[in-house]
Amino acid sequence: MTSEHETGPSVLIVEDDDATRSALRRDLVARGFRVDDVRDGHGALLRWEARRPDVVLIDLGLPDMDGTRIIGRIRREATTPILVISARDGEATKVEALELGADDYITKPFGTAELHARLRAVLRRAGGAAADAGGRVAVGPLVLDALRHDVTVNGTRVDLTPREFEVLRVLLAHPGRLVTRGRLLRAVWGEAYRSEDHYVHVYVSQVRRKLAAADPAGALRRLIVTEPGVGYRVGGE
């Protein structure tokens, strides 16, 4: 079923609970999405084949198959943003889903305002490349120049160690997404990360502190948000 709004982005909702599904549907229709919804994994795969939505909202606990299978299948074919709806205490499942290619997650029970913010963020990420051809990333007052290995906030140079620079570069390469700790470790340290994996939080905090010192206005305060036990969410702007 497709709503009459033909202008907004299309979203596929995969959720087995009828009450939750219809509430999500009402909310997203009201916010201008074109909404398609299914209640099981089989239906989700068929609908994905037929419609190729702009974004997929998926509950991992489906009656007929594990939601992570659907994520894996979609990721093999497309970079369509995937937002996972997860239950509380399911950190391991969340991390698994994110490592399989999901972009972000939202924990039940959630407010629709929060859901909408997450959807906007993942859609924006899908809209354009993070870095320009010269390897420059700009987020608000922050500019990271990968070629010159240099970071500025409001034009002032921020002095980062090579490893801190690398952490920031990897995080900024995924705006609007949730970067799991494991993914960050592998990207920055390679496979030899084992000895330092307890200190990732510390590196990220150092980066955050240095950026905050160069940003008295607090424009970058929510740039890197820690999701305890999962990873880091990178603000899109």
User: DSSP label at 54?
Assistant: S
Query: Does the protein bind another protein through residue 194 (CB under 8 A)?
Result: no
- CA–CA dist 58, 60 (Å, integer): 6
Residue 173 CB, shortest distance to another protein, in Å, is 19
Q: Among the candidate windows 20-28, 34-42, 53-61, 84-92, which touches another protein by CB under 8 A?
A: 84-92
Q: Identify the helix (H) or strand (E) that includes residue 8.
A: none
The binder of another protein chosen from 203, 215, 233, 236 (CB under 8 A): 203
Residue 155 vs 228, nearer CB to another protein: 228
- Cα(first)–Cα(last) distance of the chain, in Å? 34
Tokens of 117: 């913010």
Query: Does the protein bind another protein through residue 228 (CB under 8 A)?
Result: yes
Query: Does the protein bind another protein through residue 88 (CB under 8 A)?
Result: yes
Closest residue by Cα to residue 84 from 231, 187, 225, 185 = 231
The binder of another protein chosen from 49, 64, 77, 89 (CB under 8 A): 89
By CB under 8 A, the count of residues binding another protein is 24
Residue 146 CB, shortest distance to another protein, in Å, is 18
Please tell me the number of Cα atoms within 13 Å of 231 on its side-chain side. Answer: 28
The binder of another protein chosen from 134, 147, 198, 216 (CB under 8 A): 198
Q: Which backbone phi and psi does 145 adopt, to 5 degrees? A: -110, 105
Count of CB atoms situated within 10 Å of the CB of 120? 15
Query: Does the protein bind another protein through residue 229 (CB under 8 A)?
Result: yes
Pure H helices in 54-137: 67-77, 91-99, 112-127
Query: Does the protein bind another protein through residue 99 (CB under 8 A)?
Result: no
Contacts with another protein by CB under 8 A lie at: 88-89, 91, 109, 111, 161-164, 196, 198-205, 208-209, 225-226, 228-229
